[in-house]
Chain A
Amino acid sequence: MKLLTHNMLTSKCLKGVNVGYPLGILAKDVKVSEVDFNPEFVSRIIPKLDWNVLWNAADSIGHSGELPKAVISDYENNQEFLKKAHHVLMEVEVINGELICPESGRKFPISDGIPNMLLNEDEV
């Protein structure tokens, strides 16, 4: 699970949960691997992100690295910034662990890189 994907996931589907965001991460295994850098794509995705959530997620698994705490202005033209964002968004992956609903504490397993957001019938 990439941190870009984590930035989008919520547990709002759970009965009784209002926001369900951001999900906490309890990481057992984290893997970093190279992904093609596409500055144009990264610039386009940044407005869709909750940057604080991204930074905290990265920090909580020990990979905030050089990621600035806030989006800089004129980021579209700053290759260095986009590269750092790209690294955290696309190259850092949680392989095994858990996502945790901030309201209910419900845990969602991440197994071999795939978050399992499936709910039991009585949770919907």
Chain B
Amino acid sequence: MARVKLRVLEEYLQELDVFENPKISLEQYVTQPHIASHLLHVAQTTFSDVEGCSVADLGCGCGALTLGSAVLGAAYTVGFEIDPDAVKVFRKNAKKLGLSGQWSSTSHKRMGSEKNETVSPPEDENLDNSDENSEETSDDDSILLESEGEDCSLLTESAVDVVLCDVTSSEGLGSTNSRWYKSFDTVVMNPPFGTKNNHGADMAFLKSALRIARCAVYSLHKTSTRNYVLTKGREWGGKGTTAEVLAKLRFDLPKSYKFHNKKNVDVEVDFVRFDVSHVKEMECNFSNMSLNKR
């Protein structure tokens, strides 16, 4: 069961802003609301991997999967992103969906008046960047909340954090010695495809995801590299890892970069679930017994 219908989730995600200037070097493209909502909905309804869980989104970009997880009731969601510009859009989106705390400039969700800062009085000296975004316009904050009626409180009290960092760093998330190791129940992500100048980025994302997940990793990969992705995933996840292609999608990448000369670029993409819940780890041992191999 999911606490929000698929259609409603998709509508939520359709409200989100997208990259203003997608960066080729990072292979930025938007996770379409249709795909993001289906991915998360399957993760919740078929596998119960979202509600009440801790969820990480690697390369969270503008936040579709992070915020979608929060809408579905994740207990704690962290988006990891390398691009400060994408994070600005993320912040706008979090506000738009009515997240409270650091995401709103007021203490409670409310529309309109932006000036009720509740943070403790800032000191005179400014830290780097600290005032860069504080004056961002927020004319569009109010759109969704009113029309969604009772649903508008869905997100206000969710725990969402964003960390700016390089998720592919072998000393960071990709390390078995990292504090993040096995610290999330679930990872959801739409990594770069690892083409262009970005060779191997998809696999580096996958490696980090499998390190920090305790139960499952949901990811999107080019169908053309399926065997490699599944084999490597099983290897990195550790003994007992299973990998399953849940769906084959067709990505209709809109012409987002200038060098695309065709109107749309069609890419075949696998929606993959890696299950690492059987992997031997102290706290997971007892669950091994009751679960049979699918």
* A contact residues vs B (CB 8 Å cutoff): 1-2, 4-5, 7-10, 12-13, 21, 28-31, 33-36, 38, 40-41, 45, 47-48, 90-91, 93, 95-98, 109, 111-119, 124
Contacts and interface: CB of A to CB of B under 8 A. Distances in A.
Q: For chain B, which range describes its interface: under 10, 10 to 19, 20 to 34, or 35 or more residues?
A: 35 or more
A116 B84 contact: yes
Interface string B87-122: 100010000000011110001000000000011101
Contacts of A28: 122-123, 127, 130
Contact of A34 (B119, B157, B171, B175): B157
B150 interface: no
Interface of B: 52-54, 75-76, 78, 82, 84, 87, 91, 100-103, 107, 118-120, 122-123, 127-130, 132-134, 157-159, 161-166, 169, 171-172, 175, 177-180, 183, 283
Do most interface residues of chain B lie in helix, strand or loop, or is the interface mixed? loop
In this complex, the member of B118, B164, B179 whose beta carbon has the largest number of chain A beta carbons within 10 angstroms is: B179
A13 B170 CA distance: 8
Q: Which 5 A-B pairs have the closest CB atoms?
A: A113-B102, A41-B75, A33-B101, A117-B165, A29-B119
Contact of A38 (B75, B87, B100, B133): B75
Given A31-B101, A95-B102, A41 B76 contact: yes
Contacts of A36: 75, 157-159
Contacts of A97: 127
29 contacts: A1-B161, A2-B159, A4-B76, A4-B159, A4-B161, A8-B179, A10-B178, A10-B179, A28-B123, A28-B127, A29-B119, A30-B119, A31-B102, A33-B100, A35-B101, A35-B158, A35-B159, A38-B75, A93-B102, A111-B127, A111-B132, A111-B133, A112-B91, A112-B130, A113-B101, A113-B162, A114-B163, A115-B164, A118-B84
